[in-house]
Structure 1
Amino acid sequence: MDAQEVAAIVGETRRRAGRPVVVGVSGFGGSGKSTVARWLESEVEGAVRMRGDDFLDPSRSHRRSSDWDGVERERLARDVLVPFRERRDSTFRRYDWALRALGEPEPVPRGDVMIVDLIGLFHPATAPALDLRIWCDVDLATATTRGRARDAEIGRDHEQLWQEIWVPNERDFVERFDPRSMADVRFTGSVPGVPKTGA
Structure 2
Amino acid sequence: MSGAGTASGADPFAGALGRIRSPRPRIVLVDGAAGSGKSTLAERIAHAIPRAQLLALDDLYPGWDGLDAAARTVADDVLRPYRRGGRPRYRRWDWTLAAHAETRVLDRTRPLVVEGCGSFGAGAAALADLRVWVETRDHERRRRLHERDGDAFGPFWPLWEAQFARYAGRERPRTAADLVVRT
Give the TM-score, by structure 2 length.
0.79
For structure 1, list consecutive stretches of 5 or more residues without a partner in the other structure.
62-67, 190-199
Give me the CA root mean square deviation. Answer: 2.4
| Percentage of identical aligned residues | 28
Partner of 1:178: 172
Q: Higher strand share goes to which structure?
A: 2
Separation in structure 2 between the aligned mates of residue 90 and residue 174 of structure 1, nearest angstrom: 26
Alignment of 1:62-77 (within 5 A): 68-69=67-68, 71-77=69-75
The amino acid that maps onto 2:155 is Q
The alpha-carbon distance between structure 1 residues 10 and 183, as it changes in their structure 2 partners (threshold 3 A), is: same
Separation in structure 2 between the aligned mates of residue 27 and residue 185 of structure 1, nearest angstrom: 12
Partner of 1:11: 21
Separation in structure 1 between the aligned mates of residue 60 and residue 143 of structure 2, nearest angstrom: 24
Separation in structure 2 between the aligned mates of residue 37 and residue 29 of structure 1, nearest angstrom: 14
The amino acid that maps onto 2:14 is Q
Partner of 2:59: 54
Matched, 1:169 2:163: yes
The amino acid that maps onto 1:3 is F
For structure 2, list consecutive stretches of 5 or more residues without a partner in the other structure.
1-6
Give the secondary-structure state (helix, strand or coil) at the position aligned to 1:40.
helix
Partner of 1:159: 154
Separation in structure 2 between the aligned mates of residue 132 and residue 180 of structure 1, nearest angstrom: 13
Partner of 2:142: 144
Give the secondary-structure state (helix, strand or coil) at the position aligned to 1:85.
helix
Partner of 1:196: none
The amino acid that maps onto 2:170 is R
Give the secondary-structure state (helix, strand or coil) at the position aligned to 1:93.
strand
Separation in structure 2 between the aligned mates of residue 121 and residue 105 of structure 1, nearest angstrom: 19
Separation in structure 2 between the aligned mates of residue 76 and residue 175 of structure 1, nearest angstrom: 20
> How far 1:90 moved relative to its partner?
4.2
The amino acid that maps onto 1:120 is G
> How far 1:56 moved relative to its partner?
0.2
Partner of 1:195: none
Separation in structure 2 between the aligned mates of residue 49 and residue 88 of structure 1, nearest angstrom: 18
Alignment of 1:60-99 (within 5 A): 60-61=65-66, 68-69=67-68, 71-99=69-97
Which of these residues, 114, 126, 129, is aligned with residue 127 of structure 2? 129
Contact 1:148 1:158 in 2 (8 A): yes
> How far 1:42 moved relative to its partner?
1.3
Deviations 1:138-169 (A, max 9, x none): 133422332133221xxx4332321x322333
Contact 1:27 1:119 in 2 (8 A): yes
Contact 1:26 1:134 in 2 (8 A): yes
